[in-house]
Amino acid sequence: MPLPKAELHLHIEGTLEPELAFALAARNGVTLPYADTEELRAAYRFGDLQSFLDLYYALMAVLRTPEDFTALADAYLERAAAQGVRHAEIFFDPQAHTARGVPFAAVIEGLGASLDRSEERYGISTRLIMCFLRDESAESALATLESARPYLDRITGVGLDSAEAGNPPAKFRAVYEEAARLGLRRVAHAGEEGPAAYVREALDVLGVERIDHGLRCMEDPELVARLVRERIPLTLCPLSNVRLRVVDTLADHPLPAMLDAGLMVTVNSDDPAYFGGYAGDNYDAVREALSLGPEQLRTLARQSFEASFLEDDEPRRARYLAEVEAYAF
């Protein structure tokens, strides 16, 4: 039995495996510029975040109907369950779909149909986090939040993703203020390719409770001290960091130093179809490459539930934490 864990950094569009991409392409009459799944997989060699994003957005062309989004989420949840995921906080990128003429309603209703049965089918409780694309305008983010209004009962929080360099958090001050007024939780990608200063800005200007990635905080000791003091969770994605060349090899990953510093780090998969592994694969990879012991792995799993948006008084939180403490390695 795998170690129970929460997945807090997972883009649902990044779970699109080549086999499903071709199946949906056939169903929707979309022609992909690859002969087969093998040729598509061969394209998964990325020099940086942007080279990945180019393929990630291009492949979304196959996602058109609510049923497509349901199939995507079902496939993810089934794989995640097999790797010990008990709770998943799932990002989605509405602007990447509405820009292609897919209605917001198709995306959220399709995902919702899957998530509604997730606990019963897969034993995974879920939350949805709507991300704004930071390389699009602040006005587009505000319009997206407007589109989400009828569905706020389905959405736990907002996030910020896509090309980080040159798109600082402060660009989205207004939409995060409005999200806070609506009672939404707030997270943001920061310190993946962008500087440590973006991590600070996401905290101070956007009021985020959690930082996605954040590993470049290690360049700023004062910021590290603050993140430790305020127990701000960082959702690390080690296999993603290797594939997007944020670190050279897994052995160079700062995860052990971050744990030693007392940072509230968690391990997640980001875009598992593209980066070589789901949540459990990421745990296995860091255990091997960084020689993590059982108590360090238990700490990572415990922190994943503590950093989640499960309410403090929600019985699931205590139940999952008890499962982590009882886990026999």
Positions marked active-site:
192
Residue 93 CB, shortest distance to Zn ion, in Å, is 10
Residue 133 CB, shortest distance to ligand ADE, in Å, is 8
Residue 158 CB, shortest distance to Zn ion, in Å, is 14
| Close Cβ partners of 202 (under 8 Å, ≥ 6 residues apart) | 160, 169, 188, 190, 208, 211
Q: How far apart are CA 212 and CA 90, in angstroms?
A: 12
Residue 272 CB, shortest distance to ligand ADE, in Å, is 11
Please report whether residue 83 would count as binding ligand ADE according to CB under 6 A: no
Q: Which two tokens stand for residue 100?
A: 């292609």
Q: Which two tokens stand for residue 147?
A: 């589109």
Binding partner of 144, given Zn ion, ligand ADE, none, CB within 5-8 angstroms per partner class: none
Residue 292 CA, distance from chain mean position:
23
Please report whether residue 263 would count as binding ligand ADE according to CB under 6 A: no
Residue bearing tokens 């399709």? 110
Helix (H, G, I), strand (E, B) or coil at 187: strand
Neighbours of 20 (CB within 10 A): 20
Residue 91 CB, shortest distance to Zn ion, in Å, is 7
List beta partners, residue 131.
159
Binding partner of 89, given ligand ADE, Zn ion, none, CB within 5-8 angstroms per partner class: none
Measured from the CB atom, the residue of 172 and 327 that comes closer to ligand ADE is 172
Measured from the CB atom, the residue of 3 and 62 that comes closer to ligand ADE is 62
Subset of 3-22 contacting ligand ADE (CB under 6 A)? 11, 14
Among 70, 156, 240, 282, binds ligand ADE (CB under 6 A): 240
Q: How far apart are CA 206 and CA 202, in angstroms?
A: 5
Please report whether residue 270 would count as binding ligand ADE according to CB under 6 A: yes
In whole angstroms, how far apart are CA 113 and each of 159, 184, 209, 297? 22, 21, 28, 33
Subset of 23-52 contacting ligand ADE (CB under 6 A)? 49
Neighbours of 230 (CB within 10 A): 10
Subset of 186-205 contacting ligand ADE (CB under 6 A)? 189, 192
Residue 318 CB, shortest distance to ligand ADE, in Å, is 31
| Residue 304 near residue 85, CB atoms below 8 Å | no
> For the window 151-180, what string marks contact with ligand ADE as x by the rule CB under 6 A?
----------xx------------------
Number of residues that bind ligand ADE (CB under 6 A): 11
Q: Which single residue brings its beta carbon nearest to Zn ion? A: 270
Helix (H, G, I), strand (E, B) or coil at 29: coil
| Close Cβ partners of 15 (under 8 Å, ≥ 6 residues apart) | 72, 75, 76, 79, 271, 272, 273
Measured from the CB atom, the residue of 73 and 310 that comes closer to ligand ADE is 73
Q: How far apart are CA 290 and CA 134, in angstroms?
A: 32
Binding partner of 14, given ligand ADE, Zn ion, none, CB within 5-8 angstroms per partner class: ligand ADE
Measured from the CB atom, the residue of 4 and 14 that comes closer to ligand ADE is 14
Q: How far apart are CA 32 and CA 279, in angstroms?
A: 28
Q: Which single residue brings its beta carbon nearest to ligand ADE? A: 161
Residue 268 CA, distance from chain mean position:
7
* Site residues (vs ligand ADE, CB under 6 A): 11, 14, 49, 56, 161-162, 189, 192, 240, 270-271
